[in-house]
Amino acid sequence: MEKFYIVDSSILPDVVEKVIEARTLIENGEVHQVSEAVKRVGISRGTYYKYKDVVFRPSQDVSKRKAVISLMLHHERGVLSEVLARISNAEGSILTINQNIPIHNWASVVISLDISNMVETLDELTGDLRDLRGVSDVKLVSVE
């Protein structure tokens, strides 16, 4: 089970801040390639790829927090409905749902949601989603 923490940056290695800086350079369009971003902030490409999907700054505008979750759903009636109901019970608001066609009776689903009003943690939500019938491989892809 994934766990998330908010920690003071003073206890983290310097590369964590540099990874966030590199990602910001790319997202803002200041640079167009990862190699250019990592060179500018002084880290290796390997370091960037190791941390880029797991370190984030808390959003400055907490009223607009978003998360992306990926799941594998068994192709049977009601499974997606149960997932959506569980997110709704946590006061998460669905923004988008992307579902691929089922292969061997399993479909890949990516859900983006507004988490600014959630009444529980993302750890609790993803844990509960893992426990649902017909759901596997639940992953938190990103948080903003």
- Degrees (nearest 5) of the Cα angle 21, 69, 9? 30
What is the phi/psi pair of residue 42, to 5°? 85, 40
* Residue 57 in domain: no
pLDDT tens, position by position, 134-144: 999 999 888 87
CA distance 122 to 106: 24
* CATH number of the domain bearing residue 89: 3.30.70.260
Number of domains in the chain: 2
Residue type, 86: R
CA distance 60 to 90: 22
129 and 75 in a common domain: yes
66 and 44 in a common domain: no
Q: Which H/E stretch holds residue 109? A: strand 106-114
137 and 69 in a common domain: yes
Computed from CA positions of residues 63, 123, 92, 143, in that sequence, does the dihedral angle turn out positive or negative? positive
Q: What is the pLDDT of residue 58?
A: 65
For the beta sheet containing 135-143, the strands, ordered from the edge strand earlier in sequence to the opposite edge, are 93-99, 106-114, 66-74, 135-143
Residue 26 belongs to domain spanning: 12-51
* Residue 75 in domain: yes
Residues in a beta bridge with 109: 71, 99
pLDDT in tens, the chain (144 residues): 666 677 778 888 899 999 999 988 988 889 899 999 999 999 999 999 898 878 877 654 444 688 899 999 999 999 999 999 999 999 999 999 999 999 999 999 999 999 888 888 888 899 899 999 999 999 988 887
pLDDT tens, position by position, 18-35: 999 998 898 888 989 999
130 and 107 in a common domain: yes
135 and 102 in a common domain: yes
The SS3 call for residue 76 is coil
* Residue 5 in domain: no
The structure's pTM equals 0.59
